Amino acid sequence: MVMGDKTVMTKLKHANGNHPLTENEKEIKINNAAVHYGRYMTALGFDWKNDPNSIDTPKRVAKAFVNDLASGVYNKPPKITAFENINGYDGIVFQGNITLHSFCSHHHLPFIGKAHVAYIPTADGRVIGLSKLNRIVEFYARRPQVQENLTMQIHDHVNEVCTDNIGVAVMVEANHMCACVRGVKHDATMKTAKLSNVFKNKSRVREEFYNFIRDLK
């Protein structure tokens, strides 16, 4: 089973969509964005054209957004192939401490943290490679985001790829620069979680998931 682009698009309703570009189209996007970012810097009163450290900043920023920070918007969704559970494994599949880099939709400041993802396949269901969980996290994180939405999008994607599962659990822990460098200016970690089926309804299974996370500390 391969996750279809149409299904992915439904997950991105509130995450700035997915608009895959060719390398040539990316270069055009970067050049256009650089012009506008230069105007933005000028509007703020930054004399960037006469500062040797800033003269190339508009192009640098535009490249960073298109190629890295918001690459999930401009790259095709990852192809996630699910395989038959030939060994009949029916325990928890857990991948923890998946590095996560994103930036908030509100202030376009980074939030950085970890994602923990788990699912339980049925003996005759389907499983995916652990690296694919990382790819799912990366795809949804690399765009203007809200952590609550990010958590749900990761959960829903895993739930649809791993057909016939009996539960999916996702926790995201992140530090938000919009709280650290502006506003209250406090360091804090935000935690969000989305659990379904047995992870939500059975306390023993839910506790096992959280114990896996605690063991990583």
> What pLDDT, on the 0 to 100 scale, is given for residue 2?
44
Q: What is the pLDDT of residues 64-121, one digit of tens each?
A: 999 999 999 999 999 898 999 999 999 999 999 999 999 999 999 999 999 999 999 9
- CATH number belonging to domain 83-216: 3.30.1130.10
Domain boundaries along the sequence of the chain = 23-74, 83-216
Give the CA count within 13 Å in the CB-facing half-sphere of 181. 9
Token pair in block for residue 89: 């494994």
Determine the residue type at 180.
C
Q: How far apart are CA 92 and CA 88, in angstroms?
A: 12
Q: Give the pLDDT of the chain (217 residues) as one tens digit per residue.
A: 444 455 555 566 555 678 899 999 999 999 999 999 999 999 999 999 999 999 999 999 999 999 999 999 999 999 898 999 999 999 999 999 999 999 999 999 999 999 999 999 999 989 998 899 999 999 999 999 999 999 999 999 999 999 889 999 999 999 998 888 887 778 889 999 999 999 999 999 999 999 999 999 8
Residue pair 30/60 in contact by the 8 Å Cβ criterion: no
Q: State both tokens at 10.
A: 């439904």
* Residues paired with residue 189 on neighbouring β-strands, in sequence order: 175
- Residue 210 dihedral angles phi and psi, to the nearest 5°: -70, -30
What's the rounded Cα separation, in Å, for the pair 98 and 138? 9
The architecture of the domain spanning 23-74 is Orthogonal Bundle (1.10)
**3-class DSSP assignment, residue 207:** helix
**Token couple for 126:** 């389907």
